[in-house]
């Protein structure tokens, strides 16, 4: 009997090994997503309120706003492990902001789906709506907000950022780059007003000396948020550069968008990022062989509307970045007859939102854009901006490799 029991135990070893291995592999799977939720677009006029972060606080407290319920349903359907939200107003009291969104919308079944939970969240201040004393938009008035803020916004924190994670966030390891000065970047793209001939060689700088010395590069902020996954560190590199429009021949927003993307591209390696300092004044960049995932609405198309050659390519063609599998959707393909429209992430026809992993430390399993076709019952979630957003949720499924 003892020998028979020993034989049975030995016979079970391969199955136990396979089960343990499968469990280990499953634990190392990671789905990362980004979603510009356009929550600044909630109808404050219908609520009888003025534009401010108080609008979003109210909406998040009720659990009943139709746009936010649809956003929550989309998130529940994709169910990412780590999720970056753009255009989610900064609210200092997380209980009234991002945590209220989790509690009152994501923890509640939407459309009969299983609720999802995110135990770890991160928010921080941004430059949008942060007042300056300057007339940065050169309209003859120093108003402090709007085009005269460090980043365009009607109030501090508008168009903010939030990170949600099912895995622990290494709070002590977070780096932010909200206050990095644009002129501290080597060879920045200085906005110049062209002369009468259209030449910038003898043109006039858009910003005066004092403005240029004070101007911050990031229109919102740049973040490096380390997340602990299966005993390994994954750096979530988040940003939301300014749209490259709403300006003039000086191209101040286009140039800023280019350099905001360049800052993150340079940050990826010590040789390029030696000039970068964080909000603590410390010179920092990623170490070699670091796992990272770039996330956010980058406002830079690799194809489609407003594709500017060489801008997003700073990341998509970076040797450390894996852009091999491009997220696509049936809805994007059906929304436009343009070539490669299945990769669009914004309703106006562009790939503007990105989830880009490092080549080091990951295998890419799958990727997609939540954009159902018009024939799908789920099209109700994305039919217009009021339904959810003018952007689509983008996700990528990864496996962490055993690289050190």
The answer to whether position 22 is within a domain reads no
**What pLDDT was estimated at residue 306?**
73
**What pLDDT was estimated at residue 316?**
98
**What pLDDT was estimated at residue 404?**
65
Residue 292 is classified by DSSP as: E
The answer to whether position 142 is within a domain reads yes
CB 236 within 8 A of CB 82: yes
Region of poorest pLDDT, from 42-46, 91-95, 114-118, 393-397: 42-46
Secondary structure (3-state) at 139: coil
The count of domains in the chain is 1
Q: Which residues contact 391 (CB under 8 A, 6 or more apart)?
A: 35, 36, 37, 38, 86, 297, 345, 346, 347, 352, 353
What are the beta bridge partners of residue 122? 163
**What pLDDT was estimated at residue 9?**
43
CATH number of the structural domain spanning residue 256: 3.60.10.10
Instruction: Report the distance separating Cα 83 and Cα 80, nearest Å.
Output: 6
**What pLDDT was estimated at residue 395?**
98
Q: Which residues contact 277 (CB under 8 A, 6 or more apart)?
A: 177, 180, 184, 283, 284
Give the residue numbers spanning the domain of 228. 28-400
The answer to whether position 352 is within a domain reads yes
**What pLDDT was estimated at residue 2?**
45
Residue 68 reports pLDDT greater than 60: yes
Q: Which residues contact 74 (CB under 8 A, 6 or more apart)?
A: 35, 370, 381, 382, 388, 393
Digit-coded pLDDT (tens) for 155-201: 999 999 999 999 999 999 999 999 999 999 999 999 999 998 888 88
Average pLDDT over residues 141-154: 96
**What pLDDT was estimated at residue 51?**
77
The answer to whether position 6 is within a domain reads no
What is the percentage of the chain residues whose pLDDT exceeds 90? 82
The answer to whether position 341 is within a domain reads yes
Average pLDDT over residues 108-119: 98
Structure tokens given for 66: 């139709």
Buried b (16+ CB within 10 A) or exposed e, 167-198: bebeeeebbbbbbbebeebeebbbbbebeeee
Query: If you average pLDDT over every residue of the chain, what do you get?
Result: 91
Average pLDDT over residues 295-300: 98
Count the alpha carbons within 13 Å of 290 in the hemisphere toward its beta carbon.
20
Residue 30 reports pLDDT greater than 90: yes
Residue 20 reports pLDDT greater than 80: no
Instruction: Report the distance separating Cα 130 and Cα 136, nearest Å.
Output: 13
Beta strands in 98-189 (DSSP E): 120-123, 161-165, 175-176
The answer to whether position 20 is within a domain reads no
The answer to whether position 5 is within a domain reads no
Confidence of residue 41 (pLDDT cuts 50, 70, 90): low
Confidence of residue 22 (pLDDT cuts 50, 70, 90): very low
The 3-class secondary structure across 349-381, one letter per residue, is CECCEEEEEECCCEEEEEEEECCCCCCCHHHHH
What is the percentage of the chain residues whose pLDDT exceeds 70? 91
The answer to whether position 309 is within a domain reads yes
**What pLDDT was estimated at residue 199?**
86
Digit-coded pLDDT (tens) for 331-344: 999 887 778 899 99
Residue 4 reports pLDDT greater than 60: no
**What pLDDT was estimated at residue 45?**
67
Confidence of residue 307 (pLDDT cuts 50, 70, 90): confident
Average pLDDT over residues 284-313: 92
Digit-coded pLDDT (tens) for 197-235: 888 888 999 999 999 999 999 999 999 999 999 999 999
Structure tokens given for 88: 């989610």
């Amino acid at each position: 009997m003892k020998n028979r029991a020993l034989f049975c135990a030995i016979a079970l070893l391969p199955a136990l090994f396979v089960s343990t291995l499968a469990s280990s592999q499953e634990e190392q799977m990671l789905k990362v997503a980004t979603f510009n939720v356009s929550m600044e677009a909630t109808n404050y006029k219908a609520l009888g309120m003025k534009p401010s972060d108080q609008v979003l606080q109210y909406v998040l407290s009720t659990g009943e706003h139709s746009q936010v319920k649809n956003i929550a349903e989309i998130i529940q359907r994709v169910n990412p492990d780590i999720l970056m939200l753009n255009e989610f107003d900064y609210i200092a009291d997380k209980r009234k902001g991002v945590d209220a969104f989790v509690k009152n919308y994501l923890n509640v079944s939407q459309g009969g789906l299983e609720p999802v939970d995110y135990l770890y969240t991160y928010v921080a201040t941004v430059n949008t709506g942060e007042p300056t004393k300057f007339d940065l938009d050169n309209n003859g008035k120093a108003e402090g907000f709007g085009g005269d803020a460090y980043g365009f916004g009607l109030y501090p924190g508008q168009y903010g950022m939030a990170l949600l994670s099912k895995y622990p966030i290494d709070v002590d390891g977070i780096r932010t780059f909200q206050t990095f000065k644009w002129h501290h970047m080597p060879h920045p793209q200085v906005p110049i007003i062209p002369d009468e001939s259209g030449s910038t060689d003898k043109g006039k700088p858009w910003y005066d000396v004092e403005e240029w010395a004070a101007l911050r590069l990031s229109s919102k902020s740049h973040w490096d948020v380390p997340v602990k996954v299966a005993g390994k560190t994954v750096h979530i590199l988040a940003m939301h550069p300014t749209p490259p429009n709403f300006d003039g021949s000086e191209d101040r927003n286009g140039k800023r968008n280019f350099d905001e993307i360049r800052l993150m591209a340079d940050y990826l390696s010590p040789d390029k990022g030696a000039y970068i300092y964080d909000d603590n004044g410390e010179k920092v960049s990623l170490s070699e062989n670091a796992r990272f995932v770039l996330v956010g609405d980058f406002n830079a198309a690799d194809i489609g509307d407003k594709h500017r050659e060489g801008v997003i390519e700073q990341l998509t063609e970076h040797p450390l970045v894996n852009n091999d599998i491009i997220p696509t959707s049936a809805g994007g393909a059906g929304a436009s007859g343009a070539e490669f429209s299945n990769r669009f992430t914004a309703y106006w026809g562009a790939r503007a939102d990105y989830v880009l992993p490092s080549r080091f430390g990951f295998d890419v399993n799958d990727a997609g854009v939540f954009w159902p076709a018009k024939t799908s019952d789920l099209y109700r979630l994305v039919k217009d901006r009021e339904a959810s957003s003018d952007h689509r949720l983008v996700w990528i499924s990864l496996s962490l490799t055993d690289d050190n």
